[in-house]
Amino acid sequence: MVVLHLPRLLSFSLSRQTYSISKRTLTTLLHPPKSTLTTSEPNLELISTTITPKPQTLSLENIFIPPNTNVTENARILNGSNILLSNYATDAQIIQADFVKSSVRFEDCPSDGLPEFALVGRSNVGKSSLLNSIVRRKKLALTSKKPGKTQLINHFRINDSWYLVDLPGYGYASAPQELRKDWDKFTKDYFLNRSTLVSVFLLIDGSIPAKKIDLEYARWLGENQIPMTIIFTKCDKRKKKKNGEKNGGKKPEDNVNDFQELIRGYFETVPPWIMTSNVTHEGRDEVLLHMAQLRNYWLKH
Ligand code: GDP
């Protein structure tokens, strides 16, 4: 199948802002969504106000610069991210998405050598919603939500040329210790051995302060030098501060910044990150452009 180059996506996403780089500082707008906050999670207490975007300053050392990319005066940062756009960001649009197979072991995954991105995150982080939003389908994600069911690696072929991989969620409060160990081995084997894995997309809930299990996960990926992109989800909302809570009630931008600080020591170079919302679809185009530039670079090297 022919993978079409659709300039609409590029011109829409990229023309929104141009950034000028002066010396070591780059100013960008982290773009939290504009909508009034809503949620489909009845248990979460929310502050029902609109989050106002505020200008953020990214110093050069906090920007993810894709390989083979020069930082010039006209360089652009993807909205709501720390990612510099490179010439490799082409063919970003998804035209076709098909479920291919579920594998129990990494050895059983497709062997056609196409590049792939694996989505992983704590249960309830919004992984299925993000996957469905990326491919613009109501129900493509298959990962079982019930701990105790078989853990599977689900492959979706995109445009007949690359894969999105849905991995089981981690951190089920109710999962027995044994199952957590299984999960660990299952996914770690995949991360360590899958040669066509271009980047793990680690999903982190941007509406709440960092969780220990997420920090541990990021640390493991960093220490094992597995390429990682952080996708902050639910950036349209923030959790209400409860009595006695130190960190509650922070804005998504603050949670994003705090998370960076907490994982700084685990990585040699700053990992790329993008703020997203499945409610407003903020960040969707940026995720696709980032995947495109990583993928196209990977294919040429
Ligand atoms: P998964 O367990 O990681 O696959 O998470 P789901 O995609 O099933 O989402 C878990 C819950 O979070 C559901 O109630 C979703 O409606 C909600 N959710 C997912 N993404 C967002 C988001 O971007 N914003 C808000 N406000 N809620 C979200």
Residue 143 alpha carbon, nearest atom of ligand 1 = 4
Residue 247 structure tokens: 């960190």
Backbone angles phi, psi at 222, to 5 degrees: -65, -50
> How much is the pLDDT for 97?
93
> How much is the pLDDT for 182?
63
Q: Is the CB of 237 under 6 A from ligand 1?
A: yes
Using the mean position of ligand 1's atoms as its centre, give its distance from the Cα of residue 156 in Å: 20
Q: Are strands 197-205 and 116-121 parallel, antiparallel or unpaired?
A: parallel
> How much is the pLDDT for 198?
98
> How much is the pLDDT for 149?
57
Under DSSP, the state recorded for 21 is E
> How much is the pLDDT for 8?
28
Q: Residues in the chain, how many?
A: 301
> How much is the pLDDT for 61?
87
Using most ligand atoms within 8 A of CB, pick from 119, 208, 240, 278 the residue to mutate for ligand 1: 278
- Sign, CA torsion 63/68/73/76: negative
> Taking the CB of residue 226, how many other CB atoms lie within 10 A of it?
17
- Rounded to a whole number, what is the distance in angstroms from the first to the last CA of the chain? 23
> How much is the pLDDT for 57?
73
Using the mean position of ligand 1's atoms as its centre, give its distance from the Cα of residue 289 in Å: 22
User: To which residue do tokens 């083979």 refer?
Assistant: 68
> How much is the pLDDT for 36?
26
What contacts 235, CB < 8 A, 6 or more positions away? 32, 33, 80, 206, 207, 252, 256, 275, 276, 277, 282, 283
> How much is the pLDDT for 168?
86
Q: Are strands 228-233 and 197-205 parallel, antiparallel or unpaired?
A: parallel
Contact by Cβ (8 Å): 293, 85: yes
> How much is the pLDDT for 13?
31
Under DSSP, the state recorded for 206 is T
Q: Is the CB of 234 under 6 A from ligand 1?
A: yes
> How much is the pLDDT for 21?
38
Q: Is the CB of 123 under 6 A from ligand 1?
A: yes
% helix, strand, coil for the chain, step of 5? 30, 20, 50
Using the mean position of ligand 1's atoms as its centre, give its distance from the Cα of residue 41 in Å: 8
What contacts 42, CB < 8 A, 6 or more positions away? none
- Of 278, 280, 259, which is closest to residue 270 (Cα–Cα)? 259
Using one digit for the tens of pLDDT, what is the confidence trace for 91-146? 999 999 999 999 988 899 999 999 999 999 998 999 999 999 998 876 676 655 66
User: To which residue do tokens 């019930």 refer?
Assistant: 146
Stretches in the chain below the pLDDT threshold 70: 1-56, 138-139, 141-150, 172-183, 241-248
> How much is the pLDDT for 250?
87
Give the whole-angstrom CA distance, residue 82 versus residue 59.
Answer: 10
> How much is the pLDDT for 145?
60
> How much is the pLDDT for 177?
65
